[in-house]
Amino acid sequence: MDKLSVMHAFRRIVERGAFARAAEDLGVSPALLSREIKLLEESLGATLLTRTTRSMSLTDAGRLYYDEATGILDAVAGVETRIRDGAGAVRGHLRVNASSSFGQTVIAPILPGFLDAYPDLHLTLSMDDRVVDMVEGGFDVSIRIRPAMPDSALVARRIGTMRQRIFAAPAYLEKAGAPAVPQDIARRRVIGFLLADHLTSWALSGPSGAVTIDLDPPVRVGNSLVLRDLLIAGQGIGTLPDFVSKEAEARGALVRVLPDWELPAPEIFAVTASRLGMDAKVTAFLDHLRAALGP
């Protein structure tokens, strides 16, 4: 038996007043129980129980051990109860990690409603455009956008798909001319995204099949919000995820280039460290996030 099990057994012996009755409650033999208590006494160097054929009583050391063990066992039971009760409650401290662009354009708008729904919740939102060690950072969930998640100790759940399209400002296209075919892109000024898999090679799919365009972007940035603003300012052509381009496209600041052509659509993953399942606060957050992402 481990220490807690021995404490529990000793407590049961004292409260039931007999080894046989305690052994029956615990589902073990009286002989095993007697041996465990003997080992306990030997490890402590003290007699805890005085036994005769007709009676059993606590020594002073036994009374001390019983009182302290009871306190420890009750404290452990209390902790376990609070954890079980809290597992279904949306409270505590939720730590979320996401890229700057996703955090600002998708997560930030849902936060007021989410926090209003769960006023007892504490929230930390960390935004970083590079992949962080979520275990070392203490994050409950990290939002990552990838074609696929590599096998690891982390658990990735798909929560959506991101569309990547080509954009430019109307003023730039009026000045430089709108590309008519994918190969024309190489003859335009391209703004590249440093952290993208497609920085120097765009694999496009369209009406005539798949085309790969090799590029050497003269301007390269590490944040898609900066890339968007450069495109709006008429600095060239570039690719943007739909959650970054949506607002600018809706108001006409950006227009689609080669609208029948797209880059591969990566998946949006919610990554957690535990394989035991998500707790209530992570589940609630992802429910709000899925609603914002739409079907």
User: 276 vs 87, 155, 239, 272, 273, CA distance in Å?
Assistant: 12, 10, 38, 10, 9
What is the chain's mean pLDDT, rounded?
88
pTM of the predicted protein model: 0.67
Q: Average of pLDDT values for 165-184?
A: 96
CATH (domain of 284): 3.40.190.10
CATH (domain of 44): 1.10.10.10
Phi-psi region of 127 (alpha: psi -120 to 50; beta: other; left: phi over 0): beta
Position 85 scores a pLDDT of 60
Model confidence band, residue 86 (pLDDT cutoffs 50, 70, 90): low
The mean-pLDDT minimum among 49-53, 77-81, 167-171, 194-198 falls in: 77-81
Backbone angles phi, psi at 21, to 5 degrees: -70, -40
Residue 33 and residue 178 in one domain: no
Q: In what order do the strands lie in the sheet with 238-241?
A: 238-241, 164-168, 255-256
- The number of domains in the chain is 3
Position 155 scores a pLDDT of 83
Q: Are strands 191-193 and 219-221 parallel, antiparallel or unpaired?
A: parallel
User: 143 vs 97, 155, 231, CA distance in Å?
Assistant: 6, 12, 25
Residues of the domain holding 198: 164-256
Residue 133 and residue 148 in one domain: yes
Q: Average of pLDDT values for 253-270?
A: 93
Give the Cα separation of 157 and 269 in Å (integer): 5
Position 274 scores a pLDDT of 66
Model confidence band, residue 277 (pLDDT cutoffs 50, 70, 90): low
Position 54 scores a pLDDT of 74
Position 205 scores a pLDDT of 93
Q: Quick check: 125 pLDDT over 80?
A: yes
Asked whether residue 261 is domain-assigned, the answer is no
Percent share of the chain, pLDDT over 70? 93
Q: Where among 52, 84, 116 does a domain terminate? A: 84
Residue 187 and residue 109 in one domain: no
Q: Average of pLDDT values for 86-93?
A: 74
Q: Quick check: 90 pLDDT over 90?
A: no
